[in-house]
Amino acid sequence: MAHIKPINPDLLTDSDVDYANFSCCGDEDLIFLRCPACGHLSVQCYECETWYVDLADTGRMESAYLSDDERLACPHCSVPFEDACHLMEGIVDRYLPTAAQVIAAGHGRHLARHLREQHGVLLPPST
């Protein structure tokens, strides 16, 4: 079901996010983004263009919708993405993290179950 097709097989796709953590538009297509400049991680819904800019607080959202000559800018370091079509095949590799990078940043709980099991990520007890 993955629509995002990185060339590097270690990079995460839209089947690698734990969709249960994001209550988006109901038709969610979620992808991890990694800022090429500072490594900041975020999640974009490319169905409705909601951008979860802080994975420690999934209530923080911005619009990833762009008009013609706009680019997304990193919510952390404000450096604009070099590519307007950052999810396009052949380009998207620059903007995707690996599972190890997501875990190292402390956001392993947002990985899909198969990746959490593969990498031994434990979920905090649910409250």
Contacts of 33 (CB under 8 A, 6+ apart): 41, 42, 43, 44, 86, 95, 96, 97
| Interface region with Zn ion, contact rule CB under 5 A, candidates 30-38, 62-70, 81-89, 97-105 | 30-38
Smaller CB separation from Zn ion, 48 or 91: 48
CA distance 42 to 37: 13
Q: Which of 15, 18, 19, 48 binds Zn ion (CB under 5 A)?
A: 48
User: Of 5, 18, 24, 73, which lies in the binding site for Zn ion, with binding defined by CB under 5 A?
Assistant: 24
Contact indicator for 84, 22 with CB cutoff of 8 Å:
no
Cα separation, 19 vs 86, in Å, equals 21
Shortest gap between Cβ of 28 and Zn ion (angstroms)?
5
38 binds Zn ion (CB under 5 A): yes
Positions in the binding site for Zn ion (CB under 5 A): 24-25, 28, 35, 37-38, 40, 45, 47-48, 50, 74, 76-77
